[in-house]
């Protein structure tokens, strides 16, 4: 809920759907017929362009690097599925965390190379299809990687006395 509040108060996004109360609106279909449920789903206020958000509430690195690779593979597969069904809505994907990970390659975590390697690491998301370089580039352009500071995580509403 903190990520939802932060997105809605500091960006031009409306995030009305979450995986707990509205799972159908946060679930996307992959090429292999399996579904991927994101933590939040919403849209840009002006354009209604959809956004799917994965929130990782870590205070230490943990398993984020591996989970991020899976996230990239899922973003590729759900985008490829939408394109194959001729319903591509130009969705954007956000990863929000409070703790950095993969710091030696942080600057490249949204690159086509990282997406390609993620899909190779999770070939099941392809369902036998070849990797499409146009989709790799499209996904790379749609990614957000947001590191929220600890102050956002632990801040309490100010009180006027």
Helix, coil or strand: residue 38: coil
Fold of 2-154: Trna Endonuclease; Chain: A, domain 1 (3.40.1350)
pLDDT at 155: 47
14 has a pLDDT exceeding 90: yes
pTM of the shown model: 0.90
pLDDT at 159: 39
- Phi and psi, residue 42, nearest 5°: -170, -150
Annotated domain spans of the chain: 2-154
Could you read off the pLDDT of 85-119 as tens digits, one per residue? Answer: 999 989 999 999 988 899 999 999 999 999 999 99
Distance from C-alpha of 112 to C-alpha of 137, rounded to nearest angstrom: 6
161 has a pLDDT exceeding 50: no
Tokens of 142: 């749609």
156 has a pLDDT exceeding 60: no
């Amino acid at each position: 809920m903190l990520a939802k509040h932060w997105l809605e108060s500091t960006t031009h996004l409306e995030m009305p759907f979450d995986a707990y109360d509205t799972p159908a609106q946060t679930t996307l279909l992959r090429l292999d017929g399996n579904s991927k449920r994101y933590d939040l789903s919403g849209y840009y206020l002006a354009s209604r362009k959809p956004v799917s958000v994965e929130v990782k509430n870590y205070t230490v690195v943990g398993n984020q690097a591996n989970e991020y690779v899976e996230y990239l593979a899922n973003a590729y597969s759900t985008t490829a599925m939408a394109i194959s069904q001729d319903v591509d809505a130009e969705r954007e994907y956000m990863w929000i965390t409070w703790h950095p990970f993969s710091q030696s390659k942080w600057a490249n975590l949204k690159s086509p190379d990282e997406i390609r390697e993620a899909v190779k690491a999770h070939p099941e998301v392809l369902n036998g299809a070849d990797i499409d370089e146009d989709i790799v580039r499209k996904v790379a352009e749609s990614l957000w990687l947001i590191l929220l500071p600890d102050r956002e995580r632990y801040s309490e509403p100010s009180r006027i006395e």
